[in-house]
Every structure is written in C-alpha cells, then in structure tokens.
Amino acid sequence: MKFSRFPLLPALLALSLSACQTLNSPTVGKGISYGDSKAVETVSTDLGSTDIQTTSEKMTQSLLQTPLLQDIIRKRGLLMASPVENKTSEYFDTKLITDTVLSHLQKNGVRYVIAGDEMQNQVDELRRQNQSGLYKKSSAAKVGNMQGAQYRLDGSVSSITKRGSGVKDVYYKINMRLIEIESGIVEWSDEKEIRKVLNY
Amino acid sequence: MRKHALLPVLALSVFLAGCAGSPLRSYNKELGNTISMVNAGDVKGALAQLEANNDSVFSSSDEKDANGGKKEKTQADSIFGKDILYYFEKGELLRLDNEYERSRDAWLEADGIVRIWEDEYRVNPAKVLGDVATYLVSDRVSRYDGNDYEKVFLSTKLMLDHVMLGNNDDARIEMKKTFEREKLIESFREQEYERIQEETGKQSLKFSVDDLAKNGYPVDKLDSPDARALKNGYQNAFAHYLSGYFFELKGEPSLAAPGYRNALELRPDSKLIRQKATGKLGGKPGPGKADVLFVVESGFAPALRSITIPLPIPINKEVVVTPLSFPVITADTRAYVPPSITVGAQSLPVETLVNVDALARRQLKDRLPGIIGRTAVRAVIKSALQYQAKKKGGALAGLAATVATVGSEQADERSWRTLPARLSVARAILPVGEQDIEFRTRNGIYRGRIKIEDTMTIVPIRLSGNFVYVGQRDAQGTLEAAPDLEEAVEDEPVDEKPEAASKPSGAGGLSGILGSGARPKVLR
Amino acid sequence: MKQMILTFSLGLACLGAALPVYSDDGGSIASKVEELGRMDYLKVADLRAVRRDGLLRVQATISNSSPANQQLHYRFRWLDNDGFTVWEEEPWKPELVYGKQDKVLNVTAPTFKATDFKLELQSPNNSTSAENPGNVADKPPYR
C-alpha cells in the first residue's frame, strides 16, 4: 500500500511544478497567521472579541437613535464615560466596551471628555506646562479651562454560569446607561444579552 | 518520547539509587536538611545544600550553550537535568534571601518546564492523558511536572516577584497566565477523570479508595474538613486577591473586581475579601498614604510519605498479597499565623487565604483514584512475577520476590517543600515612610521597621521555625522572646486565634529567661 | 480569493444599479443581499429600509425552510450614495434560526452618512459548486 504510492510521487511533483511556480507571499515565519478580526469567535465561553464588537455596535446604534443624543451632537454637548463595570468572575477588561462605544460615537460627531485615571495624566501635563517653568507662558495650556460634561455614560456586565454534565451555559447581560449629570436622570438605557453554550 | 526516556532511567536507577540527581532519590530526606537550615535562619547554607543535592551527573551546571546563548529546555533536560523542584525550591530560598531577581530567574526556569507540559497538553491532549494510565513503573520515576497547586503557586509567586521588582507589565502578564493555567488544569483534570473512569471500567481488577482504606490507608487524613471545604485542589485564593489588589491600585477596577470576586468564591468566609468584593473599588488612599499589603507565610508545605499497603491481587485463581506503595500526607502543624500585625498604633487583622496543607490533601485525594489505577496495573505484573517465583522456588523464593517488590516500589514523594503551609494577608492604608511593625510569632514578639513607598507596597513576611524573614531589602528587626507567650503558644492548634498579644514587660530582663534557642536575633 | 471575486463583481453590479431610494420592497432583494455561497435552507423573505431621523433603518426577515435549526452569520455594509463604504467593516454576527422560523433582523445604521447598504449572509450549511463559485449575480435566487 505504502510502496505503491511512491512511484507516483515524482510524477505528481513534476506535474505540479510544471503547472505553476510557487508564488512567495510577503510574509516571514510560519505557524502564525493573521485571522479575520471581524470573524465570529467561538474559542471559549468567556467574553470575547465578537461579544465586545456586537455589544458596542448595538449600544452605538441604540444611542444614535435617541433624540437626546442627536440633540447633544447638534448642540456640541459634552459626554463623559465611566468604564463599564465588570460584575462577572472573568478577567476581562470591560472598559474595552466603553472605549469602542465612545470611538463609534465620536465618529458620529459626539464630543466627550476624559475621566477617571486618564484624568491624572491630563492633570500632570497641565501642571508640568504651568508649574515647571520650562514652557513659554503664551503657548502653555492654561489651567482652569477644562470643560465639564453634561452627560455620563456608564454600564455593567453581569453573568450567570451554569454547568451540567457535559454542558456549560453562560449568560451575559451587558447594560449601559446615559445619565444627565446635573439631575441624575437616566436619559437612555439599553441592554444586550449573550448566551454561550459549550458542549463537551 | 517519554516511554523511551524511561528505559535508560530504569537501567540507571540501579546504580543511581543513592545519587542526588537520580529520579529515585528520597526527596524528603534531601529537603529535611534544607528546611531546618531555613528554620535556623541560614538561607545561604540552605541554598548551598540545595545546590549540592542537585549536582547531578547528567546535568551540566552551565546553563548557557557553547555560543553563550541560553540553552533550550528539552524533555531530556527536565528528566536528567535540574528538575522543576530544584527551581521551585531555589526560587523560594532566594526570595527569602531578598534576591528577587535571581529568584524570579529560577522560577522562570520552573515556569518553562510547566509550559512544556502545558504545550504538550494543548497540542496533544490525548497523549498527555494517555500517560495517565500507562505507567508500569512507580510514579516517582516519571518526570515531575509539578502538582496542580504548585503550578498555580508558581505563577502567583512569580507575580509577586515581578511586583516586588517593580515590573508591573510582567506582573500583569503573569496574572493572566495564572488564570489561564487554572483553566487549563481544570480542563485537564476533567478529562483525566473521565479517562480514568473509562480505564478502570476496562480493567478486570478494580480497587477503590475504600479498598485502600480497609487495608490500612489513612484516608481520613486526606478527607479532612478543611480539604473538603476547598473548591478544588489547585485554585489559589491569594492569586486572585493579589490580582485584585494589583489592578485596583493600577486603577483598573474592571479587572480588579473579578479578582476579588474569584477570591471570595474560594474563601467565602474572609472578611478582608468580602469587604473588597462587595464594596466600591478604586478609592484612592489619599496624599502621603499607601495601600499596603502584608503577605504572611508560615511554616512549610506538608511532605508526602510513602506508605506500603499490601493488596490481594488474584493471579491464576490464586490470591497473592502484593505490597504496593501509596503516597500519604504527613501533617505539618508547626505553622503559626500571627493573629494581627501592629503598625504604629493600628492593629491589622491577619487572615489566612491559602492553606497549602489542605490543598495538598485535597489534591492527593482527587488524584488517588488515578494513582490506584496505575498502581493496580503494576500490581498485576508484579503479582505474576511473584507467582512464577513461588511456583518455581517455593515459599522462600516467594518471600525474596516480595522483598524485591517492596524495595523497588516507593510512592512519589516529590513536592515543593519550601512553599509555606499557610499564606495569610493583612492590608491597610498607611502613611508613606518608615513604619514600625510588630507581631507575634511562636517564639515571641517580632519588632521591626519597614519602608512604605508611595506606590504599591507589598511586605512579604515569612515565619519559619525560630526565624522571621521580612522581604524588604533593608528591613531590620529583632525577635524577642516573651516569657508569658511561650507557654500560651506551645502546642496550640494552628488556626486557633490566641488572646490579644500581651507585650513583654521590657527588653532588659529577657536574656536571663531565654533559652539558648531563642536568643534575640538581628534579622535582615 | 473567492470572496474577492465576489465582492468585486458585486461592486460592479452595485455601481450600475445606483439605488438611493428605499421604500417597502422598493428594489430587488437580491441586489441588496450577498450570500457567501448559496444558502440551501435560509432565505431573505423580506427586506425593507427606511430613513428616519437621519439614520438608515433596515429590517430583514430571514426564513428557514428546513425543520432543523440553522446557524446564520450576517453583517451589514454601510454605503453612501456613490457606493463607498462609510463605516468600518462590521463584525460577523451569529444568529440562530430555528426550524421553520422567520427571524427578523432589525438594525440601524451606525452612522448618519449611510444611505445604502448591503447585507452579507453566510450559513455554515451553504453549498458551493466549483463551476459557480458563489457568484450571486449569476443566480438571483430569492425574489
């Protein structure tokens, strides 16, 4: 069986060689390839790229439809975001959802101010420009001109995990809200549900 | 690959039995000395001892190849070279000596060996699982990849080293790795369990844990309440708490929250964790203050011991009693956890997060069915040999064969011995700068001075025998025996909280009361 | 590669069509739908689009002709009047369509710039034949 295949091999090789030359791709190395960043990822039941993408997409779409948000865009109002809170037991940086929603919104003309820990860098920079004595007074960014946001975006991710024999079911619920900072009124909220099932 | 590697090991084992690098060495004997040196405060001596024990004929001490580059680890290296245990212990000893960089390097070597196992399992799970059931020789001859909880502990300790060295990025990577490792082990154990069920179903010969117990195996030692209370034999509450601490201080609450939540799942009774898992995260300690984590380690991980249980093996319709060896855990009750640490005027409660003793019991209990399965396969073969000997040479030869089997059968007693028996933490927001600390030990009261940095400050403390190690490079302190404490602490159950610490009347009158073993010592 | 041919040929078809207007059942469904291969059991039964508050809203009904559950992957491509994409490539979205179910997909464009769209559909049970590598233009199947 094994031997009978061998005489064929050179013939096959010759054939394939004459048919086409191998074209080198502009790549180095092997074993690693670039995947489609938009592909549906079903590697594990943990939150993954597809979940972030579809969630932020749904949130953006839902937000854009809100008359209030369209109003904010028109009046060049300001938004800030508290990172989406992770209420699951998974080590998953849920801030990614916030980041993606913000960048999608920004593409539609929404302006937002930074908050939280990024604020520290901002303050440090302002301080350096004004207090270090190294910068020209006229070109240094002035202190006291930072703008406060009128609306705040926040949210959370929760999960319920169930295990049976040979099956693991994880249900995720991602919730986001837009809150008017002054009044504390929730002006918009939406949620996305994801169910992931692992059969093994 | 491994099966081939076994052959030379078998052949060599005959003349290597006494040699340190041999796979058939007695690990407990080897480490006993090292540990008593650590207990006496002689880490450097302990390190030298470790090196001497591991001066194998096979491994070159040179870790560089001919071109000066780093040698690549091979499977042969992990069998014949310095094994994972050497790196486990070395990393721990170096850490006690405040040599964080070298400790990290040693542990990274160990990590490389764990990763060989992980990659093997990822690429070819069937093969790794296949090994589970097919050993004909004692477990102790097989390559030691580390126990489940040791693997998790390794990345936890590496994480701590990275934080101590200020390499926050590496610490972050190590944290993610810890949890990936936990998941991998989980999946491995699940599949192994099914595999063993399958295998034992096939075998005509069935022994259960109960059979072992009937023949004198101390099952109750493994099935202790604290071991039963654990979720499994590998997850480490401290690893999760540490990542909670790390990410909280790094201003990443979305990663800190699951850390605390997972830790709480593993230690539902901990007030310290509950407070974080349910409260709001991300509060800043305020100017001139720092969130300080004390990591208190006490004692040493329990030793595995070989116990010989004669089991009746039916061969040719005749029942032959065959002595078989099984590992059993000997308790280490000498660990002492101080009830609180006093910093300045504040008294911080100390909470135990990891009980390595219970972890080891749980792990052994969970693995016992697999060990029994493997041992049973060997038993059948050995019984056949005995039967032949008996038939040909009568009772005397049968006895000789019995002796021979006992001699060659020893359970795997390898484990990471310098791990602490208990790992506890205390945490508080403290003013930056030098601070006096004080806590009780078995031998009296330790007083020392630590430095609290502006950023993340972790203070590792190790209570070992008569000695206290504080993991800060320039930390200084003294251990003062308190006469009224000595009696109170003696023979006290490990976890029980003693009365509030009573301070000795004064340092002056101490020397007269102290025994020679508890002289005030100046500690690094 | 196959996908490239597909996209290219469709791009041509699209340019020729120039379809700015949408009302109920306005244009042909086939011109708005791109299937990767040919879906054997799933089909777009209804497709409608409307512009409200400056945003394009699309509703597609996917019906499953088989009694078995079908996995569907879909995504939209958002275009302007000239057929240029105005939004980044969307992620594929998984959707489960039960046997004999009509599933309604309701989406809003993620940007105000979108005036036209394409719906990309893929089902793991798609069939492809070597002679006709998924060229939808050749077989406008569902109408």
Instruction: Give the separation between CA C44 and CA C25, rounded to whole angstroms.
Output: 12
**pLDDT at residue B514, rounded to an integer:** 30
Instruction: Give the separation between CA C89 and CA A171, rounded to whole angstroms.
Output: 27
> Span B96-112, mean pLDDT?
91
Task: Tell me which of A70-79, A120-129, A153-162, B15-24 is least confident.
Answer: B15-24
Q: In this model, does residue A1 exceed pLDDT 60?
A: no
**pLDDT at residue A166, rounded to an integer:** 78
Nearest CA in chain B to A84: B254
Q: By the CB < 8 Å criterion, does A43 face chain C? A: no
C partners (3+ CB pairs within 8 A) are A
Q: In this model, does residue B332 exceed pLDDT 70?
A: no
Considering chain B, what is the average pLDDT of its residues?
A: 75
Give A92 or A10, the one with higher predicted confidence.
A92
Q: What CATH number does residue C19 fall under?
A: 2.60.40.3230
DSSP letters spanning B385-410: HHHHHHHHHHHHHHHHHHHHHHHH--
Task: Tell me which of A19-23, B446-450, C109-113 is least confident.
Answer: A19-23
Contact at CB, B252 and A93, closer than 8 angstroms: yes
**pLDDT at residue B518, rounded to an integer:** 33
Using a CB-CB distance cutoff of 8 angstroms, which residues of chain B are in contact with residue A93?
252, 254-255
Task: Tell me which of B5-9, B85-89, B275-279 is least confident.
Answer: B5-9
Q: By the CB < 8 Å criterion, does A85 face chain B? A: yes
**pLDDT at residue B23, rounded to an integer:** 46
Residue B251 CA: distances (Å) to CA of A93, A146, B245, C108: 12, 22, 10, 35
Using a CB-CB distance cutoff of 8 angstroms, which residues of chain B are in contact with residue A166?
none
Stretches where chain C sits below pLDDT 50 are 1-26, 129-143
Residue C137 forms part of a structural domain:
no
Q: In this model, does residue B405 exceed pLDDT 70?
A: no
Contact A196, A45 (CB under 8 A): yes
**For testing the chain A interface, which of B123, B254, B284 should be mutated: the one with the most A CBs within 10 Å?**
B254
Contact at CB, A91 and B251, closer than 8 angstroms: no
Instruction: Give the separation between CA B407 and CA A129, rounded to whole angstroms.
Output: 78
DSSP conformational letter for C138: G
Give B66 or C15, the one with higher predicted confidence.
B66
Nearest CA in chain A to B251: A117
Domain residue ranges of chain A, discontinuous segments joined by +? 43-137+146-156+175-191
Using a CB-CB distance cutoff of 8 angstroms, which residues of chain C are in contact with residue A39?
91-92
**pLDDT at residue C37, rounded to an integer:** 79
Residue B131's pLDDT band, with cuts at 50, 70 and 90, is low
Measure CA of the first residue to CA of the last residue in chain C; give whole Å.
28
**For testing the chain B interface, which of A89, A96, A99, A120 should be mutated: the one with the most B CBs within 10 Å?**
A89
Using a CB-CB distance cutoff of 8 angstroms, which residues of chain A are in contact with residue C91?
37-40, 49-50, 53-54, 57
Tabulate helix, strand, coil % of chain A (nearest 5).
Answer: 35, 25, 40
Give the residue from C82, C55, C83, C60 showing the smallest Cα distance to C72.
C60
Q: Out of C55, C110, C112, whose CB is closest to A57?
A: C110
pLDDT tens-digit map of B155-178: 999 999 999 998 989 999 999 889
Buried b / exposed e along B270-298 (16+ C-beta atoms within 10 A)? bebbeebbeeebbeebeeeebbbbbbbbb
Instruction: Give the separation between CA B293 and CA B316, rounded to whole angstroms.
Output: 64
Nearest CA in chain A to C58: A61
DSSP conformational letter for B500: P
Give residue C63's domain range.
2-128
**pLDDT at residue B187, rounded to an integer:** 85
Residue B316 forms part of a structural domain:
no
**pLDDT at residue B341, rounded to an integer:** 93
**pLDDT at residue B203, rounded to an integer:** 65
Q: Verify C-B touch: 3 or more CB pairs within 8 A.
A: no
pLDDT tens-digit map of A28-58: 877 778 888 888 888 888 888 899 999 999 9
Residue B487 contacts by C-beta under 8 Å, 6 or more apart in sequence? Answer: none
Residue B134 forms part of a structural domain:
no
A99-128 residues touching B, CB cutoff 8 A: 116-117
Work out how many domains chain C is built from and give that number: 1
What A56-59 contacts at long range (C-beta under 8 Å, 24+ apart), as own/partner pairs, is A56/A97, A56/A100, A56/A101, A56/A104, A57/A104, A57/C90, A57/C91, A57/C110, A58/A190, A58/A192, A59/A97, A59/A101, A59/A155, A59/A174, A59/A176, A59/A190, A59/A192
> Span B73-100, mean pLDDT?
76
> Span B63-75, mean pLDDT?
46
Residue C143 forms part of a structural domain:
no
DSSP letters spanning B109-171: HHHHHHHHHHHHHHH-HHHHHHHHH---S-GGGS-----HHHHHHHHHHHHHHHHHTT-HHHH
**pLDDT at residue B224, rounded to an integer:** 81
Contact B222, B361 (CB under 8 A): yes
**pLDDT at residue A69, rounded to an integer:** 92
Q: In this model, does residue A10 exceed pLDDT 60?
A: no
Work out how many domains chain B is built from and give that number: 1
Residue A53 CA: distances (Å) to CA of A49, A81, C90, C112: 6, 18, 8, 19
DSSP strands (E only) in chain A: 78-81, 85-86, 111-113, 151-164, 167-180, 186-199
Residue B38 forms part of a structural domain:
yes
**For testing the chain C interface, which of A37, A41, A62, A107 should be mutated: the one with the most C CBs within 10 Å?**
A107
**pLDDT at residue A106, rounded to an integer:** 93
DSSP conformational letter for B231: S
Task: Tell me which of B50-54, B281-285, B361-365, B418-422 is least confident.
Answer: B281-285
Closest approach of chain B CAs to the CA of A15, in angstroms? Answer: 34
Give C16 or B358, the one with higher predicted confidence.
B358
Neighbours of B194 (CB within 10 A): 13
Give B11 or B370, the one with higher predicted confidence.
B370
Instruction: Give the separation between CA B132 and CA B149, rounded to whole angstroms.
Output: 18
Residue A170 CA: distances (Å) to CA of A161, A194, A197, B500: 4, 8, 6, 47
Q: By the CB < 8 Å criterion, does A35 face chain C? A: no
A59-78 residues touching C, CB cutoff 8 A: 60-62, 64-65, 67, 70
Task: Tell me which of A27-36, B38-47, B232-241, B449-458 is least confident.
Answer: A27-36
Residue C21 forms part of a structural domain:
yes
Give C26 or B377, the one with higher predicted confidence.
B377
Contact at CB, B254 and A95, closer than 8 angstroms: yes
> Span B219-233, mean pLDDT?
83
**pLDDT at residue B491, rounded to an integer:** 36
Instruction: Give the separation between CA B72 and CA A172, rounded to whole angstroms.
Output: 43
pLDDT tens-digit map of B280-307: 776 677 788 889 999 999 988 888 888 8
- Name the token pair of A62: 């839902």
Residue B280 contacts by C-beta under 8 Å, 6 or more apart in sequence? Answer: none
Contact at CB, A38 and C91, closer than 8 angstroms: yes
Using a CB-CB distance cutoff of 8 angstroms, which residues of chain A are in contact with residue B243?
91
pLDDT tens-digit map of A93-150: 888 999 999 999 999 999 999 877 778 888 888 988 988 888 888 888 888 888 889 9
Residue B375 contacts by C-beta under 8 Å, 6 or more apart in sequence? Answer: B324, B325, B326
Give B276 or B137, the one with higher predicted confidence.
B276
**pLDDT at residue B508, rounded to an integer:** 32
Q: Verify A-B touch: 3 or more CB pairs within 8 A.
A: yes
Instruction: Give the separation between CA A137 and CA A135, rounded to whole angstroms.
Output: 6
pTM recorded for the entire structure: 0.75
Q: Does domain A43-137+146-156+175-191 have CATH number 3.40.50?
A: yes
**pLDDT at residue B5, rounded to an integer:** 43
DSSP letters spanning A39-67: SPP-S-SS--HHHHHHHHHHHHHHHHHSH
A partners (3+ CB pairs within 8 A) are B, C
pLDDT tens-digit map of B197-213: 777 676 666 677 787 88
- Name the token pair of B268: 């539902």
Instruction: Give the separation between CA B468 and CA B336, rounded to whole angstroms.
Output: 11
Contact at CB, A93 and B254, closer than 8 angstroms: yes
**Model ipTM over 0.90:** no
Contact at CB, B176 and A89, closer than 8 angstroms: no
**pLDDT at residue C58, rounded to an integer:** 93
Find how far residue A137's CA is from the centre of its chain: 39
Give A52 or B494, the one with higher predicted confidence.
A52
Using a CB-CB distance cutoff of 8 angstroms, which residues of chain A are in contact with residue B119?
none
Closest approach of chain A CAs to the CA of B237, in angstroms? Answer: 13
Using a CB-CB distance cutoff of 8 angstroms, which residues of chain A are in contact with residue B255?
86, 91-93
> Span B84-88, mean pLDDT?
89
**For testing the chain C interface, which of A54, A66, A194 should be mutated: the one with the most C CBs within 10 Å?**
A54
Residue B54 forms part of a structural domain:
yes
Q: By the CB < 8 Å criterion, does A191 face chain C? A: no
Contact at CB, C91 and A57, closer than 8 angstroms: yes
Give B175 or B397, the one with higher predicted confidence.
B175
**For testing the chain C interface, which of A56, A65, A73, A199 should be mutated: the one with the most C CBs within 10 Å?**
A65
Using a CB-CB distance cutoff of 8 angstroms, which residues of chain A are in contact with residue C110?
57, 60-61, 64, 104, 108
**pLDDT at residue A21, rounded to an integer:** 64
